[in-house]
Amino acid sequence: MKKGLFLDGDGVLWPDVALGGILSGFNQAKKSLIDLKSSIFDSENFVFLVVSNQTLAARNLIPEQEFRDFVSDFFERLINLELLDGYAICFHHPNALNESLRSTNCSCRKPRPGMINSLLEKYSLTSEQSLIVGDRITDIIAGQHAGLSLKVLLTGPRSFEFNDIYMAESETISIRLKPASDLPDAVKVINEWRINN
């Protein structure tokens, strides 16, 4: 059975910048995925998946349909290059200026596990054989709620920023994670994990 590798977008596959790193992040995402595929020692046994909160449209910085089209094109190109297998994006925000994206109870916004759970099901993966790499504690909590076996947190000044959803409802009393300094270091952690899984 294949293993699921869930990857956050901003701060993991491409740089996290204030006005939406995804807008200029394609080449970096492509490079990150090429590097991952070549350095995880049995990458052919992994399903590569992106789970990302994207709020540019919710913040009215880009028209919603335009942003949805952009995001769809962004990931479909990566899939066509055989660097990515699938993705799930949450466009919601509890305080969205764009009313159609305002939601306090969507199941997808991390740290909720909705995006991970739907991809686990879609690709027939088990949570025990899957892992996530994120740059925020909210990625890790989503992975924990989904029961993922390994949660790798990249170090950075915003690693422990809790977002609105977490602040509103978290009941998590302990959060398990493996730290990594950057994506190449995360690969070392993943390869170490693969020895026993």
Partner 1 sequence: MNGELTIDAILILGAGQGSRLKPLTDSSPKPLLSINTRGETIAGRLLSQIHRAFPEAPIFMNFNSLPEVVIEYMASVSTNLRPELIYEPIRLGPTKSVVEFSKLNYADVLVINGDLVLSNTEFARMSKAIDMPDQAFVVVHKRERKQARSQVKTDTSGFVTSVKELSQVENSEFGGSNEEEVLSLSGIYKFPARITKDYTAQYDEPLSPKLIEFWLSQIKVKSFEWNDFRYSIDSTETLKRARIQMEKEL
> Could you tell me the smallest distance in angstroms from the CB atom of residue 118 to partner 1?
26
Whose Cβ is closer to partner 1: residue 32's or residue 138's?
Answer: 138
Give the SS3 label for residue 87: strand
Whose Cβ is closer to partner 1: residue 122's or residue 188's?
Answer: 188
- If 0-12 CB within 10 Å is exposed, 13-18 middle and 19+ buried, where does residue 49 land? buried
Among 4, 33, 46, 14, which residue's Cα sits nearest to residue 132?
4
Residues 121, 173, 101, 15, CA torsion sign: negative
C-alpha to C-alpha distance for 174 and 177, rounded to whole angstroms: 10
Whose Cβ is closer to partner 1: residue 15's or residue 179's?
Answer: 179
Do 150 and 195 meet the contact criterion of CB atoms below 8 Å apart? no
> Could you tell me the smallest distance in angstroms from the CB atom of residue 188 to partner 1?
5
> Could you tell me the smallest distance in angstroms from the CB atom of residue 179 to partner 1?
4
**Which residues of the shown chain bind partner 1 in the complex (CB under 8 A)?**
137, 153, 155, 157, 159-160, 162, 170, 172-181, 185, 188-189, 192
Whose Cβ is closer to partner 1: residue 92's or residue 136's?
Answer: 136
Do 84 and 33 meet the contact criterion of CB atoms below 8 Å apart? yes
> Could you tell me the smallest distance in angstroms from the CB atom of residue 44 to partner 1?
22
Whose Cβ is closer to partner 1: residue 120's or residue 137's?
Answer: 137
C-alpha to C-alpha distance for 25 and 183, rounded to whole angstroms: 15
> Could you tell me the smallest distance in angstroms from the CB atom of residue 193 to partner 1?
10
Whose Cβ is closer to partner 1: residue 5's or residue 183's?
Answer: 183
Among 182, 193, 196, which residue's Cα sits nearest to residue 35?
182
Asked if omega into 15 is within 30° of 0 (cis), the reply is no
> Could you tell me the smallest distance in angstroms from the CB atom of residue 128 to partner 1?
11
